[in-house]
Structure 1
């Protein structure tokens, strides 16, 4: 069976570390860590890849299609967030449950993980080989036209994102991600065909995805705001002050921040404060009152309430639980 390396070069930073039947596992070397891709070659020209990038901020993709090859790709974000540059001054973002649909013609080499982790699945179709399999091979009679799907989703300067909950695609991807170990490859083959059937139906509907891109200037301002609110947790700047300081219209600032980080500025700051406090409670003996102050809570009782709401434990309960696990 023709695998993905027959029509694409994965790049010098990708190394195959395991091979078993139709499954190949690859290590992807990143700037500050490494990722793992586990690929299943399910039908000729059709691949499912489980992607796991944890504890890193970015990676370089050297993926290149070979001459005359055409692809259709579905990128499903299971957890975390992923950002990639798709044009000179624009980037695309996927959050949990989102599905990006593209043909690899507009990818640059830069991928980022705003939350420092990303887990997801990519369904890849080499159009010529896969269509032959559909028309005359083992899937003969399965009435799906990959070219029509590609035209529906990838026919403009902006490729499409199907948001979480908009279609049945995310449900199928969720089932793919939790595939049983027993007869796993058979199960994945069935789900891959289900994806194709749903894509074919979706391509002619009004839910054929959205254009969800940010300009580089917007992204840079969002990253600057993130750095400003996290470098000094005792600072209590209002959204209006941030909008004025970074010359970023109030409504646009909030919308762009949420698109990059998957949550509002307020929610992100609370999450960050609780995360930092959790680390200090686990790793130090600093009094809880001092920890509260260091992460921006002047009132210890408000800190305790916020911490319990986020974690289900009071700070003292969390510290005791962490200590018992050592």
Structure 2
């Protein structure tokens, strides 16, 4: 059976830590964080991988084969792909993407610093034989499916919807010896869904962002985080970095999945929670550091998100403060 050799993708950062007949578990660690991949051989020609990453950058394989289909489902976090035309596209939570390996990726990233999802790789020549042996309905035609969804090397995207959620959910416990059968059922269910007559008409057009737009937007995000003690306006950032305010707002939401205001609001509270647990600073000082001049407004905002006022949160952690610990924004 053909398989993606993850060692060739991640290099020495990847280690196989557990292996069974149809399953291999990998651990990855690099400068940006850690990750875990659990790969199952579902059928000859079809492999399914559970991905759990707490890092920023995912290396890419260099395979260019039009007869390999890649299906990605984003369960948590966000998934960024840069294609050969220097265009970027993003998967939200619940989204599904289908492409073949002729759709060359330049890079892949996780803008929120974490990602949980499922990847299915289908080697058409081998998978077609496997499916025929299962005597399944003729409605599953993998070559026809690729021709319908992978048009002109573009990535086909379905927004989050109940059918996708149902297919990728696991509403009941499955014994380890039944994993392969369970995954076979789920993959066939997905292929039947994708083979429905009108699925190609439901491709959700997502805005593609240029490399320049993405680079500037990420620089602005870093600037806002570095200076979170200040209240900086979108107009100020737009002027400073030479990008239109409307474009900035659209691109930021495309990358990070929320508005600039919401992103910074949650980031401030998240950082304040870390400081409350790991520093001796007073609540007033922490409030100022994360951009709140009014301590009462800070306490109200903190409680709305955490369910506790700052003093209660600090007491609940029962942890000796660490003075010079670096903040990790994951």
Normalised by the length of structure 2, the TM-score is 0.88
Question: How far apart are the structure 2 equivalents of 1:202 and 1:305?
Answer: 52
| Residues 1-16 of structure 1 mapped to structure 2, 5 A cutoff | 2-5=1-4, 10=9, 12-13=11-12, 14-16=14-16
| Residues 231-270 of structure 1 mapped to structure 2, 5 A cutoff | 231-270=226-265
- CA gap 1:298/1:161 in 2 versus in 1, 3 angstroms: same
The CA deviation at 1:80 is 1.2
Q: How many residues align?
A: 318
**Which of 186, 190, 202 is the aligned partner of 1:191?**
186
- CA gap 1:241/1:7 in 2 versus in 1, 3 angstroms: closer
- CA gap 1:44/1:318 in 2 versus in 1, 3 angstroms: same
The answer to whether the 8 A contact 2:38-2:49 is kept is yes
Equivalent residue number for residue 323 of structure 1 = 318
**Secondary structure in structure 1 of the residue aligned to 2:230:** coil
Of 29-38 and 286-295, more deviation after overlay is shown by 29-38
The CA deviation at 1:312 is 1.3
Question: How far apart are the structure 2 equivalents of 1:219 and 1:9?
Answer: 28
The CA deviation at 1:232 is 0.8
- CA gap 1:274/1:263 in 2 versus in 1, 3 angstroms: same
Equivalent residue number for residue 120 of structure 1 = 117
| Residues 284-323 of structure 1 mapped to structure 2, 5 A cutoff | 284-323=279-318
Question: How far apart are the structure 2 equivalents of 1:243 and 1:162?
Answer: 32
| Residues 128-277 of structure 1 mapped to structure 2, 5 A cutoff | 128-135=125-132, 137-165=133-161, 168-173=163-168, 175-176=169-170, 180-182=173-175, 183-201=178-196, 204-277=199-272
**Secondary structure in structure 2 of the residue aligned to 1:114:** coil
The answer to whether the 8 A contact 1:31-1:58 is kept is no
Question: How far apart are the structure 2 equivalents of 1:231 and 1:145?
Answer: 52
Equivalent residue number for residue 72 of structure 2 = 75
Question: How far apart are the structure 2 equivalents of 1:274 and 1:324?
Answer: 19
**RMSD of aligned Cα (Å):** 2.5
Q: Deviations over 1:221-260 (max 9, x none)?
A: 1101101211111221222222222222222211110110
Equivalent residue number for residue 327 of structure 2 = none
Question: How far apart are the structure 2 equivalents of 1:28 and 1:62?
Answer: 15
Equivalent residue number for residue 50 of structure 2 = 50
Question: How far apart are the structure 1 equivalents of 2:312 and 2:73?
Answer: 37
Q: Deviations over 1:106-165 (max 9, x none)?
A: 333522221111111011211111112223x12444531112221222112431221122
Equivalent residue number for residue 20 of structure 1 = 20
**Secondary structure in structure 1 of the residue aligned to 2:105:** coil
Of 236-245 and 266-275, more deviation after overlay is shown by 236-245
- CA gap 1:314/1:11 in 2 versus in 1, 3 angstroms: closer
**Structure 1 regions of 5+ residues with no counterpart?**
none
**Structure 2 regions of 5+ residues with no counterpart?**
322-330
The CA deviation at 1:294 is 0.4
The CA deviation at 1:290 is 0.6
The answer to whether the 8 A contact 2:271-2:290 is kept is yes
